[in-house]
């Protein structure tokens, strides 16, 4: 068996153990009256917080709109930056950019596995 497969299986077993422990903790929380009471109080505070946030959102509507537009623009530019870096790497070029204060940045790649159906 390959090291890749063994490592993948080890990760899967640990994730399964994590799920079991989380289920035990959730069961204990569900059985605790003080936990339930505090959770309800937290939900009430959360509702009050959302009401205040909505009032502020209405008051600063144009700023929120600008913030949303900036977030979309940043996401698009980051995707373009990623595509450009990958193209440079495919061509065998060195990829490096300079940020503020002459800080160097190099690309970081990761691999994730997706379940194949």
CA 90 from centre of chain: 28
Given this model, what pLDDT does residue 109 score? 85
User: Taking 80 as the threshold, does the pLDDT of residue 1 lie above it?
Assistant: no
Q: Count CB-CB contacts under 10 A for residue 24.
A: 10
Given this model, what pLDDT does residue 110 score? 85
Are 91 and 80 a contacting pair, CB within 8 Å? no
Burial of 91 (0-12, 13-18, 19+ CB in 10 A): exposed
31-40, 71-80, 96-105, range with the lowest pLDDT: 96-105
Residues 6+ apart with CB under 8 A from 8: 113
pTM of the model: 0.61
Element spanning 104, H or E = strand 104-105
Over range 28-34, report the average pLDDT.
96
């Amino acid at each position: 068996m390959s090291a890749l497969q063994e490592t993948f299986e080890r990760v899967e077993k640990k994730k399964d153990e994590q799920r079991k422990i989380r289920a035990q903790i959730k069961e204990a929380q569900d059985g605790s009256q003080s936990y339930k009471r505090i959770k309800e109080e937290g939900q009430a505070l959360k509702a009050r917080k959302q009401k205040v946030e909505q009032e502020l959102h209405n008051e600063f509507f144009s700023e929120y709109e600008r913030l949303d537009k900036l977030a979309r623009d940043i996401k698009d530019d980051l995707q373009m930056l990623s595509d450009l870096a990958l193209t440079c790497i495919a061509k065998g070029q060195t990829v490096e950019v300079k940020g503020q204060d002459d800080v160097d940045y190099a690309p970081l790649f990761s691999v994730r596995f997706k379940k194949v159906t």
